[in-house]
Amino acid sequence: MKRVFSGIQPTGNLHLGNYLGAIRNWVRMQDEAECIFSVVDLHAITVAQDPATLRRGIHEMVAALIAAGLDPERCILFPQSRVRVHAELAWVLMCTARMGWLNRMTQFKEKSGKDREGASVGLYTYPVLQAADILAYKATHVPVGEDQKQHLELARDIAIKFNTDMGVDLFPPPEPVIEGPATRVMSLRDGSAKMSKSDPSDQSRINLTDDADTIAAKVKRAKSDADLLPSEAAGLAGRPEAANLVNLMAALTDTTVAQVLADFGGKGFGAFKPALADVMVAKLAPITARFNALKDDDVAIEAICARGAERARAIAEPVLAEVHRAVGFTR
């Protein structure tokens, strides 16, 4: 049986990069496999969080995921901290993982920056918790973007070492599911940087809560260049901002870069950007409307979280019991 696990940080509203890079593919997977999706609030506290903001962010992310197309009846959707197996299994797997493996993790180096000594231990070890997230459900497949491939390799290494050390065949090494088009949506202000919620400029991203006028204004101001669009994809080489906007059009219309350039090759951005804005508005308006209707309904969101966590525990707790037996714990 194909079982998919993936998680997302409780950062509040989704942006277009989240949607095109991951969430749209999650929606498609719901009918292809048993899907388990988690709002990873345990990961969130590897850096300082305001409790009230975190609590609100968890609820808003659940609402945003449902608005974007996840169906709590066709997938399992829950906040990570509601299932204690994640944290307990992470400790066991920390005793399986090797220091050398974690020392090679590039994201810790990037996120800790020059203050490595001041970073939390959680920020250093969170790839092991990420492995526990996956292995707690014996997930066979994990959707990954470029920035998470290394962590999935770590999860595979941990699964294999645990099985070998304990003489069991307990964890299947998870396989990557490479995302579809526009897996790495870039900033509207810098075609070499990924679209991110952490960018201080709101003009760098399209939020799923932006209204039509805001989207049109952001697309109009998006960085481009003075050249006309080429008629073939090779002509986008060395033009990161142009390539990003063309890739967005292709992804939003479920076509290819070649098809977009067949329509717009030889035209300038004065013609292309309004068309792109119209497509964005048409795609995002229904999501925005549903999110706005859901986000303040705490009773409905809480019921979804509780039910999702109950279903997740039903899978994860028997796996943890197998781990206990393999390790030698008494119960």
Residue 212: the pLDDT is 93
SS3 content of the chain, % helix, strand, coil (to 5): 60, 10, 35
pLDDT tens-digit map of 148-158:
788 899 999 99
Q: Pick the more confident residue, 296 or 96.
A: 96
- Supply the pLDDT for residue 227: 94
Tell me, yes or no, if 197 is annotated catalytic: yes
Comparing CA positions, the residue from 6, 3, 66 lying closest to residue 40 is 6
Active site residue 283: no
| List 2, 109, 111, 218, catalytic entry | 111
Catalytic residue from among 2, 114, 161, 197: 197
- Confidence tier at 183 by pLDDT (50, 70, 90): low
Residue 116's pLDDT band (boundaries 50, 70, 90)? confident
Summarised one tens digit per residue, pLDDT across range 21-59 is 889 889 999 999 999 999 999 999 998 999 999 999 999
C-alpha–C-alpha distance, residues 196 and 90, integer Å: 28
Distance CA(72)–CA(100), nearest Å, equals: 39
- Fill in the DSSP letter of residue 146: G
At residue 150, the pLDDT reads 86
Based on the residue annotation, tell me whether 111 is a catalytic residue of this protein: yes
pTM above 0.85, yes or no: yes
- Candidates 138, 149, 161, 194; catalytic one: 194
Contacts of 221 (CB under 8 A, 6+ apart): 188, 203
